[in-house]
Amino acid sequence: MDRRTVWFAALLVASIAILLPGPRSEAASDLEACLAEPSPPKQIACLSKAAIAAGDPETCLRADHPSVRWPCVALFADRADDPSLCRILPADEDVPASVSHDLCRVHLAVSRRDPALCDGLTTPNLADGCYYQLVETGGDPALCERIANPEVKSVCALDPEQLQ
């Protein structure tokens, strides 16, 4: 599996895990257990549950790495039905805030199947990837026409057998 597929699968697992019933972690020790979780998908799911239980998306910002923070915030924003929550993500020494905001919106676009969330992304090529992921996960193949990069556009909505 390629890296994008692995992260998409991890986010899907975290999205499903957050919807499963279970005890709501409100205690600080539960939050610390989330932060100590070595598996990023499990940490995302745990922190998301804690954030939703607390009603506080900033719980997600406690994670050490942006690759845990932005999906956690995206899951909270999806549950809260508020894509603007992606804007709470801060800049990091490795990842500018705008990239984290855009990654959060891509996750929301795919999980909600809403191409409007792909519009206006500022990170180069991320809008193309957003539309591509929507089509790849069963969205309208006409979204391929919104892709600017000719190489990505040329493989969008093609039958995988045609790529071999």
Rounded to 10 degrees, the C-alpha dihedral 46/48/50/54 comes to 180
Angstrom distances, CA of residue 18 to CA of 45, 74, 124: 6, 12, 30
Q: CB–CB of 80/57 below 8 Å?
A: yes
Helix and strand numbers, DSSP H then E, in the chain: 7, 0
Report the predicted TM-score, pTM, of the whole model to 2 decimal places. Answer: 0.75
Would you give the DSSP letter of residue 39? S
Share of the chain above pLDDT 90, in %: 71
Residue type present at position 72 = C
Angstrom distances, CA of residue 148 to CA of 57, 59, 119, 151, 156: 33, 36, 12, 9, 11
Say if residue 116's pLDDT is above 60: yes
* CA–CA separation, 2 and 33 (whole Å): 30
Boundaries of every domain in the chain? 1-112, 116-164
Q: Quick one: pLDDT at residue 163?
A: 47
Instruction: Give residue-wise pLDDT tens across range 9-43.
Output: 454 444 544 444 445 434 467 889 999 999 999 99
Say if residue 7's pLDDT is above 50: no
> Token pair for residue 92?
């990091």
Residues 152-161: contacts with CB under 8 Å, at least 24 apart: 152/125, 152/128, 153/128, 156/131, 156/132
* CA–CA separation, 64 and 49 (whole Å): 17
